[in-house]
Amino acid sequence: CRVVQKALETLDDDLLPALLTEFHSSVQSCIHDQNGNHVIQKCIEVMCSKAKAAAAVGDSEMSRFMTDQIQFIIDDVLESVAPLSCHPYGCRVLQRILEHCTEQQKLRALDEIGKCHRTLLDDQYGNYVIQHVLQFGRPNDRDSILQIIVESGLLSLSRQKFASNVVEK
């Protein structure tokens, strides 16, 4: 796990796609694994960082190439947003998407997460995803969460073990 993470950080850009190809059929199993989830998180962090660095110097072709290399991960995660958000490792992967991915990828994630705001608000792990939506989301995402808090009762939610974390945010 740490060796693969280090490889992601240090390999030349032209060798990264070959390494990423190895994960094409195992994204979900890696996410559900105690060690594998760290590799998926690192894929997102490294490739998005490289894409942003390329964009910063005006190399839009390289930026798009780096972004495209992890699109299969994003697609796989967004097919299972609700269950992954409620998983101890899956919620971390969704948080990395909101922190690091391109605006387009992030917007797709926010749209999918938006379908289950109410469920995630008081979930042991989902509340962390909701906190990230509050931090990295659009105004309408925050409004949706605020509306749920108001409808559910601010005082009531503030007394619940997991929802109270969102209320505090």
Q: What is the pLDDT of residues 19-48, one digit of tens each?
A: 999 999 999 999 999 999 999 999 999 999
The predicted pLDDT at position 2 comes to 87
> Any idea what the Cα angle at residue 103 is, between residues 24 and 12, rounded to 5°?
50
The predicted pLDDT at position 157 comes to 81
The predicted pLDDT at position 132 comes to 98
Residues of the chain with pLDDT under 70: none
The predicted pLDDT at position 1 comes to 80
The predicted pLDDT at position 64 comes to 96
Q: What residues contact 80, with CB distance under 8 A and at least 6 apart? A: 28, 90
The CATH number, out of the four listed (1.25.10.10, 1.20.1510.10, 1.10.1840.10, 3.40.50.2000), of the domain defined by the range 2-168:
1.25.10.10
Please give the model's pTM, rounded to 2 decimal places.
0.94
- Given a contact cutoff of 8 angstroms between Cβ atoms, the answer to whether 120 and 89 are in contact is no
Domain residue extents for the chain: 2-168
The predicted pLDDT at position 169 comes to 76
Pure H helices in the chain:
2-10, 16-21, 27-31, 36-56, 60-69, 71-78, 81-85, 90-100, 103-114, 117-121, 126-136, 139-152, 154-158, 163-168
Q: Is 136 exposed, middle or buried (0-12, 13-18, 19+ CB in 10 A)?
A: middle
The predicted pLDDT at position 159 comes to 81
